[in-house]
Structure 1
Amino acid sequence: MSKVLQISGLAGAILTLFGIVAFFFTRNILDPYVLIHLGLGILGLLAYLTTQGGTLVGSMRLRSTRYGLHSVSYSLLFVGILILLNFLNTRYHYRWDLTEAKVFSLSPQSTKVLGQLNQDLLIYGFFERGENSRIADLIRSYTYHSPRIKFYAIDPDRRPEMAKQFKIQQVNTLHLIYGKESTNLTETTEEAVTNAIVKLTKVSKKNVYFLTGHGEPGMDDRQNSQGYAGAKEALENENYQVKEILLSTQEKVPAETSLLIIAGPQKPLLEHEISALENYLKSGGRLLAMLPSPGGDSLKNILSEWGVVVGDDIVVDQVIRLFAGASLGVEPIAETYSPLHPITREFKERTIFPLVRSIESADSPKGGLEATSLAKTSPTSWAEKDLDGVFKRGKASLGPEDKKGPVSIAVAVTANLKKLGLDRDGDAKIVVVGSAGFANNRFINIFFNRDFFLNAINWLAGQEEMISIRPRSVRSSRVQLTEREGTTVFYLSFLILPEILLIIGLAVWWRRR
């Protein structure tokens, strides 16, 4: 009987300890696990103390008992240190993302956007119970980077009045409030959340016009791989108002134009359009020209006046294919960027430029023109002059008239209007890319083409604070557990299994003793 009572004291201590630990994490005294462990544990301790109290006092005088108490003291000290470290971690914490793709980190653009918040951003998440873990982890990344983010998880079944107030139509919806602006968000990815924050925080939209009327691919064409629907969507996500302009029917570029895009014209511009374009630039306009492969384009002469040399060539590079060796390709990859220009100062990612021609800055530009090469192809590439050989015979070789790589394929120009002899202050800005296809539906989401495109847009539009690397649309794959499944995993891994191991270990020790 005495052995049973002694074991009851040991078991009571273990049960009480795990009951307290479970209550610390669940904060629910009525939890069955907590109730059972605390109840049985306290009964076991009371039974031991009421029957073995004298034996306990006597054993305190034994040397073995004193050694045991020392061990217990050190154990309690260790547990106390862990508790202190956990407390400090909740107050002063830092996160390390050790995954190769940084899937648990926010993108540079997201952190940049959060740093520009000047008032609190309220985020209400409407989720069914147990369905908000992934989204909560994402929003927790935002709150980590900015104290301005305030997140509230709402169960629409328990708070239907809030769901009605914010016009929530479905679960797993975020409602964002910034000042007087608000929006609902059903796509709960980092890209979608950051884009929503951008739209809420920007007070006005800038107008971006795509030039039409010369066989350019459509900006609303999603079916054609050559279309620019993906580029338009990316611009709208950055809070730009995107429109088309038929300049041949207008006297000049509209005054409200923040930026004009000329993307892959297949026919020459009319003299009237050329004149309107020149006047637009001389009045401080902003132009992004994405040129088609060499042909009878009319932009070459205009751009030369602004310090840009457009090559009548096609850039060819070696392509290494598994089991096939090296071959020639006309979709070169750029890996070298100017560290001096705002567009590419912090840009170190790969971009691909299909059917790209050389674009260089003039050797002796006019006074007031500052031209910078933004991107260059690899040293194994060259600018091929024999276009018939490339497009008709599928052959190319580096000849004496060709430009050896690295080849410049994009140039940015800042033009000081006063220094150019024009009677006005300010400047004009131009970005010229030798490929019309790098931002089309097929290529805009390959590598970091979208970031290069949008960074050029933001520089031209005077929004350099938006130049960054944007969120990737695909994040890590994760197992989604219901609340019941998550609770089961917690109890099994954190409480029950350690408890069983402790009981077995103490039982073996008691038997040997």
Structure 2
Amino acid sequence: MLANLALTLHDVHFDLTREKVYTPSAATMRAIDELSSPVTVTYFYRSQEAEARRTRDLLLIMARRNPRLKVVTADPDREPMLARTQGIRLYNAAVIEAQGRRVMVQGTDEAEIVLGIQRALRGDAITACFLEGHGELPMDNFEFHTHLEGGASHSHGDAASQIIEMPGHGVGRLRRALEAQGYAARKLVLALQPEVPSDCTLVIAAGPRTTFLPAESLALRGYLQRGDSLLMLIDLGFVLEPELGRLVADLGIRAEQEVVIDPLSHYSTDPEMVAVTGYDPHPVTRAISLTFYPGVRPLAIRPPAEGLHSVPLLLSSRDSYTRPVAPVPGHVAGHVPGEAEDDSRSATPGPPVSGQRVLGVAVEGHLGRGERPMRAVVVGDADFASNSFFPYMANSDLLLAAVRWLAREERTTTVTTRIPVPPLVALTGRQLSAIFLIVVVAMPLLVVSLGCVVWWRRR
């Protein structure tokens, strides 16, 4: 009786499973703790499904966590009138209501329901506009591997090539990850319109290969002056036309025509896959582990325009050095060869000088007379965002953190779908050798030895 009274007064939940499948994830709990306004979730589940019942229990645990979250569960077979009233036609659907908005989520994934709660509380949709028209990595593709660009070691059969060849490849995984976070994604061709549309919360330029038209660069400048956000991933060899070069210079950045080589800190066995293991404090790099950048170009930091503040995000090791690379000529109509030489000239070959190189920069502040502060993240590589490398190490975490910061959602907890981990036991080589000697050698030898002893005694 005392135990029953204690459990009634103090909610206690025990989950003895290895993967804690009957407990909401830590990220889910943080997102629920952050709720500042009332939210109602009505979950219509099929009582015959074990997974649906598990999701129901998780929602009830979340509701006990924060009184602002009200959870109502119902079986459509037993309460068909309620299901019809809510417009439910399928099993395992959640209707989320908050601040006069209504969001419907289908499935048994707790992360999808929490993301639906965040969408309902967000109000205005966040749209990531992917630039196209300059050979950028396409956002709609089959998500297979991407051929690398860089030095001779990254050229896939053409030692002189400095360009990515991407038939049907691109940043589809990044787009899907953004959509999973509740963001909208669409294409943007600046050559067809005088300015960036107002519904673009942020613009992503993922690895352009050909130069921009001056009017496109001016449109990006006007977009940032309005207080919006830009994620620019500029690959090795990309030529900045003069107007875009001036915009990047106002951000306090100069993109060098060199490739960074890091003999100490690199991914796999390729010193041109520069790995970054430590970061200075910034909302983008908070709690980020190792990331790597194939064929990355260094970014020289300059004093930004008045009203702007730039911070290095990504740095190579002190043992890294650079090698000059010839720029790729522009192919967009309107580009005059030689115009961009001030921002894209090749360095004179000389002995390598070791030292830290800046690979990524975050910029914030007022550009020009803009009333709202703009934000920008510039990285000297686009390969790390491609389908080939997006899911590996912490590349995806860094990109999603950058997008959240650009969208002014850095304080929002990121909730991702939990991936079941099989109950594997990882053994070292020494442990494997010991098991082999004991099980395969010693134990059979012991049985044979005992048999020999018994046989000898019986003689």
TM-score (norm 2): 0.70
Amino acid at match of 2:295: L
Cα RMSD of the aligned pairs, angstroms, is 3.5
Question: Structure 1 130/426 Cα, relative in aligned 2: closer, same or farther at 3 Å?
Answer: closer
Q: Per-residue CA shift, 1:20-43, capped at 9, x if unaligned?
A: xxxxxxxxxxxxxxxxxxxxxxxx
Paired position in structure 1 for 2:435: none
Counterpart CA distance in 1 for 2:109 and 2:321 is 41
Q: Distance in 1 between matches of 2:359 and 2:205?
A: 16
- Which amino acid in 2 is paired with 1:375? L
Residue aligned with 1:450, SS? helix
Separation in structure 1 between the aligned mates of residue 365 and residue 42 of structure 2, nearest angstrom: 43
Between the aligned partners of 1:98 and 1:294, the Cα distance in structure 2 is 55
Counterpart secondary structure, 1:385: strand
Q: How does 1:398-417 map to 2 (within 5 A)?
A: 400-405=351-356, 407-417=357-367
* AA aligned opposite 2:250: E
Identity of aligned residues (%): 26
Take 1:215 and 1:153, find their aligned partners in 2: how far apart are those partners? 49
What's the CA shift string for 1:115-161, capped at 9, x where partnerless? 13401322324123362343234324523432233334433332233
Displacement, 1:230?
Answer: 2.5
Shift of 1:213: 0.6
Residue 135 of structure 2: which of 199, 215, 226 is its match?
A: 215
* 1:331 match: 273
Alpha-carbon spacing, 1:199–1:318, altered in 2? closer, same or farther (3 Å): same
1:116 aligns with 2:35: yes
For these two proteins, the number of residue pairs brought into alignment is 373
- For 2:229, the equivalent position in structure 1 comes to 286
Question: 1:126·1:163 contact (CA, 8 Å) conserved in 2?
Answer: no
- Note closer, same or farther for the CA distance 1:153–1:309 as it changes in structure 2 (3 Å cut): same
> What corresponds to 1:440 in structure 2?
386
Matched, 1:342 2:283: yes
Alpha-carbon distance, 1:387 to partner: 4.7
* The one of 445, 453, 474 aligned to 2:399: 453
Q: 1:242 to 1:144 in 2, by over 3 A?
A: same
Partner residue in 2 for 1:151: 71
Q: Return the alpha-carbon distance in structure 2 between the equivalents of residues 379 and 93 of structure 1.
A: 52
Work out which of the residue numbers 304, 307, 311 in structure 2 matches 1:372: 311
Whole-angstrom CA distance in 2 between matches of 1:100 and 1:440 = 34
Q: 1:252 aligns with which of 195, 200, 206?
A: 195
Contact 2:277 2:291 in 1 (8 A): yes
Q: Distance in 2 between matches of 1:320 and 1:251?
A: 44
1:79-478 equivalences under 5 Å are 83-85=1-3, 87-93=5-11, 104-108=23-27, 111-112=30-31, 114-129=33-48, 131=50, 132-225=52-145, 226-298=169-241, 299-317=244-262, 327-339=269-281, 341-344=282-285, 346-362=286-302, 364-378=303-317, 382-387=320-325, 400-405=351-356, 407-417=357-367, 422-466=368-412, 468-475=413-420
What letter matches 2:259 in structure 1? I
Relative to structure 1, the CA distance from residue 136 to residue 289 in structure 2 (aligned partners, 3 Å threshold; closer, same or farther) is: same
2:268 and 2:178 mapped to 1: Cα distance? 37
Structure-2 change in CA distance of 1:135 and 1:257 (3 Å): closer
In terms of fraction of residues, the more helix-rich structure is 1
Q: Could you tell me how far apart the structure 2 residues matched to 1:126 and 1:376 are?
A: 49
Q: What are the ranges of 5 or more consecutive residues in structure 2 without an aligned counterpart?
A: 146-168, 327-349, 424-459
Change (3 A) 1:408 1:174: same
Q: What secondary structure, in the 3-state scheme, does the structure 1 residue paired with 2:130 have? A: strand
Deviations 1:207-251 (A, max 9, x none): 432211101122122345442223223333444332222112222
SS at match of 1:337: coil
> For 1:373 and 1:253, how far apart are their aligned partners in 2?
27
Tell me how far apart the structure 1 counterparts of residues 405 and 30 of structure 2 sit (CA, whole Å). Answer: 19
Cα distance between partner residues in 1 of 2:370 and 2:94: 48
Paired letter, 1:177: E
Per-residue deviation, 1:384:
2.9
- Cα pair 1:351 1:449 within 8 Å, conserved: yes
Distance of aligned partners of 1:218 and 1:93 in 2 relative to their CA distance in 1, 3 Å threshold: same
Letter of the 2:310 partner, please give it: A
Check conservation: 1:106, 1:141, Cα contact below 8 A.
no
Is the 1:357–1:435 contact (alpha carbons within 8 Å) kept by the matching residues of 2?
yes
Measure, in 2, the Cα distance between the counterparts of 1:400 and 1:317. 15
Structure 1: give runs of 5+ residues left out of the alignment: 1-82, 389-398, 479-513
Q: For 1:403 and 1:473, how far apart are their aligned partners in 2?
A: 42
**Which string of whole-angstrom CA distances, capped at 9 and with x for unpartnered residues, describes residues 396-437 of structure 1?**
xxx8434434x43211011334xxxx4443322211122213
Sort the Cα spacing of 1:160 and 1:256 in 2 relative to 1 into closer, same or farther, 3 A: closer
Mapped partners of 2:184, 2:128: distance in 1: 6
**Is the CA contact 2:76–2:82 (under 8 Å) kept in the aligned structure 1?**
yes
- Structure 1 Cα separation of the partners of residues 95 and 200 of structure 2: 32
Q: How far apart are the structure 2 equivalents of 1:107 and 1:379?
A: 36
Structure 2 contact 208–234 (Cα < 8 Å) conserved: yes
